Amino acid sequence: MFKKVFIILTVVLLATFGFAKEKIVFWNFMMDEDTASLILDKFEEKNPDIEVEFVQLSWANGFDKIVTAFAAGTAPDVLELGNTWVANFANEGVLTDLSIYKNVRDDIVGWNQVQFNGKYWGFPWLLGTRAMYYNIDLFMQAGLDPENPPKTWSEVLEAAKKIDALGSDVYGMGMAIGEPYSPWQEWFLPAVWGNNGDIMTKNLKTATLNSPEAIEAAQFYKDLSKYALKTKMNDLQAAFGQGKLGMLVTGANVISDTASSYPETNFYVSFVPKPDKGGFSASFAGGEVLTVPKQSKHKEAALRLVKYLVEADVAMDITKRVPVIFPSNSKAAEDPWFEDHPLEQIFLEQNATAVPASPHPKFEDIQSLVSTAVEEIVLDNADIKKTLDKYNTRIQIILDETKW
């Protein structure tokens, strides 16, 4: 009798604990419920010992929810972050150091988006950047070759000037102002980066907004502003769709937005022009990264999910549903989907030379100063050297006061 009871109890215990799944929690911004179901069901099929609880965050309150969760000790096992947030949370000491994976995953690009203080705090996952749209009909009316769009600063200035001369309601370029981020993101700071400059040194200790490279980029930007419609990005995108802009540097979402809202507009996309001498075609690197909070008690399972999500075919399943972001896995370029989506392929390739914002914990404060400096230069015709000197001093104060 005792032996029979023992066997039954053993079977019950094995059924209860021996085959129990390890549950992990994944907080995500990019995937909606349908996409997440598609992606995570396949993961659970491949990993039958793991169950994933999916929680979708919103950009409106997601940051605050994450901060609250870390404070309460209730952070998830896998956490998606925007790349500009990584330094902040890494500096708080709440993320797991994943540096060991950087040297063994050379198929992944964008590692600079998760770097802070010499270490790597996550996996780059889905990358978004900017490229230059141009109106083919306006190019032809201005005597420009639409099959040979501008590749350098002098070429884009000349093209903007010719298109701007077509009429009072036509502008050579669109230039974003009046917003917190787009004045520096869409091209000003990428122009500085492309000119081999930056707004602070690599060790994040010294402001360099008034460097010769930044001054030269600011002069180019000010010259370009003479032929630009200067307003908020949504208005610029509408103006481009209405055929009033010759060129506009912005994100991949404008491909489908313009095609659906302004089907008569004839446009194409090219790489962001670079300085005439030296430099490179730089654009802003936005990106979603996958991190593993230190509070996770299921790190091995969490890392299995992270490695699965960055696989090329898995990330491509997301891109095909949301074609404004592209896999960090370079093998995704081999996907035949890009043969039918040549404009999106330009964004994928532009990602290779995209640059993320400086990984400083106070970058949110610093970026607003850069936007204000840009607006004073292109709107108020402020002296470039004096303006960059003024805001360089203010940025230096933030760098000096930051404790880390």
Predicted pLDDT of residue 110: 87
346-360: per-residue pLDDT in tens? 998 898 889 988 888
The residue whose two tokens read 């996550």 is 122
Predicted pLDDT of residue 205: 93
Question: HEC string of the chain?
Answer: CHHHHHHHHHHHHHHHHHCCCEEEEEEECCCCHHHHHHHHHHHHHHCCCEEEEEEECCCCCHHHHHHHHHHHCCCCCEEEEEHHHHHHHHHCCCECCCHHHCCCCCCECCHHHCEECCEECCEEEEEECEEEEEEHHHHHHCCCCCCCCCCEHHHHHHHHHHHHCCCCCCEEEEEECCCCCHHHHHHHHHHHHHCCCCCECCCCCCECCCCHHHHHHHHHHHHHHCCEEEECHHHHHHHHHCCCEEEEEEECHHHHHHHHHCCCCCEEEECCCECCCCCCCCEECEEEEEECECCCCCHHHHHHHHHHHCCHHHHHHHHHHCCCCEECEHHHHHCHHHHHCHHHHHHHHHHHHEECCCCCCCHHHHHHHHHHHHHHHHHCCCCHHHHHHHHHHHHHHHHHHCCC
Predicted pLDDT of residue 8: 59
User: Who contacts 32 (Cβ-Cβ below 8 Å, separation ≥6)?
Assistant: 56
- Find residue 80's DSSP bridge partners: 290
Predicted pLDDT of residue 180: 84
378-391: per-residue pLDDT in tens? 999 999 999 999 99
Between residues 147 and 105, the one the model is more confident about: 147
How far apart CA 183 and CA 189 sit, in angstroms, is 9
Please give the average per-residue pLDDT across 67-94, as a whole number: 94
- Find residue 130's DSSP bridge partners: 251
State the average pLDDT for the chain. 92
Is residue 19 over pLDDT 80? no
Q: Are 151 and 128 in contact (CB under 8 A)?
A: no
Is residue 314 over pLDDT 90? yes
Predicted pLDDT of residue 46: 96
Q: Are 380 and 222 in contact (CB under 8 A)?
A: no
Q: Are 174 and 245 in contact (CB under 8 A)?
A: yes
Predicted pLDDT of residue 400: 95
Q: Are 45 and 72 in contact (CB under 8 A)?
A: no
Handedness of CA 100, 118, 202, 327 (dihedral sign): positive
129-158: per-residue pLDDT in tens? 999 999 999 999 999 999 999 999 999 999
Q: Which amino acid does the sequence have at 41?
A: D
Would you call 121 exposed, middle or buried from its count of C-beta atoms within 10 A (0-12, 13-18, 19+)?
buried
**What are the φ/ψ torsions at residue 141 (nearest 5 degrees)?**
-65, -30
For the whole prediction, is pTM greater than 0.85? no
**What are the φ/ψ torsions at residue 131 (nearest 5 degrees)?**
-140, 175
Predicted pLDDT of residue 337: 95
